[in-house]
Amino acid sequence: MINRPLFIIQRLSALVMVPLVFGHLALMIYAVQGGLSVDEILGRTQGSWFWFCYYGVFVLAASVHGAIGLRTICGEWLGLRRGLDMLTWLVAASLTCLGLWAVVAVT
C-alpha cells in the first residue's frame, strides 16, 4: 500500500508544510486585527509573487500529502486494492487544481 517512495514523499511534504502552516496561522491572526475586508486582503496579495509562491507551494505539498494519506485510509478501512494508484493521482490532481485556482484568484 505504502512503499518507500510514497513514504518519503509524504514525510517531505509534511516537512515543507510545517513552517507554512505556522506562517499561515500567524498571518491570519495578524490580518484580522482591527477588522478585515476583501479589499484589504486582495490589496496585499494581488500581484505579489511572494504570496503566489508561498501558497502555491503550500497547495502542492498539501495535495500530495493528503492524497497519500487518503490512499492509506481507503486501503485499510475500505479494503480498496485495485484502483488505489488511480485514486491517489485523482485526489492529488483535484486538490492541486482547486488549490491553485484559489491561489491564482487572490494573487
Partner 1 sequence: MSEAAQELTVSVWRGDARAGAFQGFRVPRFDSQTVLDVVSWIQQNADPTLTYRFACRVGMCGSCAMMVNGVPRWTCRTHVSKVVEAGALTVAPLRNLPVIKDLAADMDPFFEKWAGSVHEPSASRDDEIAEIRPDDPKRAAASSAIECINCAVCHAACDTVAGNPDYLGPAALTRAWTLFNDTRHGGDVLEVVSGAGGCHNCHSMASCTANCPNELDPMSAIAGLKRATVRRVFRRD
Which residues contact partner 1 by CB under 8 A?
A: 1-4, 6-8, 11, 72, 75-77, 79
Nearer to partner 1, 8 or 90 (CB): 8
Residue among 22, 6, 25, 15 nearest 89 (CA): 6
Q: How far is the CB of 40 from partner 1 (least distance, A)?
A: 43
DSSP state letters, 43-102: HHHTT-HHHHHHHHHHHHHHHHHHHHHHHHHHHHHH---TTHHHHHHHHHHHHHHHHHHH
Q: How many other CB atoms are found less than 10 A from the CB of residue 60?
A: 18
Q: How far is the CB of 73 from partner 1 (least distance, A)?
A: 9
Nearer to partner 1, 8 or 97 (CB): 8
Nearer to partner 1, 10 or 63 (CB): 10
